[in-house]
A and B are shown apart, each in its own frame.
Chain A
């Protein structure tokens, strides 16, 4: 059973627009949540990590929120660029240690058009 659901599956925006990606999960316990960016055929690059209840992070044009009560996270991308075209993957860690597992969403494919 999929424990990390991302929406939308895909999204097309025009350069300069803002967008919001959603992640809902059922992983328990939920130690931390990380957002990755994956360019086509490439590896995963960490964008941000959220740890605490109601955590908020900001990394340039990327900002993220986490609501552990609702088991929900959002990734906001402001003023999108063509280089933002990629798949964005939400990952929930059930522990912070080596004993834990990472639970991966299937990703949201973002396409930024001129």
Chain B
């Protein structure tokens, strides 16, 4: 079973704050993804990566940066957090692209 971990699990920050969400997968998957989940909406893709050093823009990238430092680690950066970024963030990894993604437990971010 693929293992994807996220940290922190909960984070509270203030408007304008700087936040980094971390994701690690230990299954040597090439693909990693960051999503946000909001009530009444399906998960929406923020950024994704094909491998270390690679970054692709997703469907809702505004206000977010990401960096894939190693095959295992994918970070989501909010440099000037806003209340509209209050959400549940999921990381996922895959060896087969979109066909089978394994999801982490999520990080709940609140921006006051």
Name 22 interchain pairs, CB-CB below 8 A, sorted by A: A31-B99, A32-B99, A41-B106, A42-B106, A43-B90, A43-B103, A43-B104, A43-B106, A93-B99, A96-B97, A96-B99, A97-B97, A98-B30, A98-B50, A99-B97, A100-B98, A101-B98, A104-B42, A105-B42, A106-B40, A106-B41, A107-B42
B106 touches A101 (CB 8 A): no
A89 touches B42 (CB 8 A): yes
B42 touches A46 (CB 8 A): no
Chain B 28-81 residues near chain A, CB threshold 8 A? 30-31, 40-45, 50, 59
The interface residues of chain A, by DSSP majority, are classed as loop
B42 touches A103 (CB 8 A): yes
Does residue A52 face the partner (Cβ distance < 8 Å to B)?
A: no
CA–CA, A103 and B101, complex, Å: 13
Most chain A beta-carbon contacts within 10 A, residue among B30, B42, B103: B42
Select which of B30, B101, B104, B108 is within 8 A of A41 by beta carbon.
B108
Interface string of A74-102 (1 = CB under 8 A from B): 00000000000000010101111111111
Select which of A42, A89, A97, A107 is within 8 A of B99 by beta carbon.
A97
Chain A 36-84 residues near chain B, CB threshold 8 A? 41-46, 49
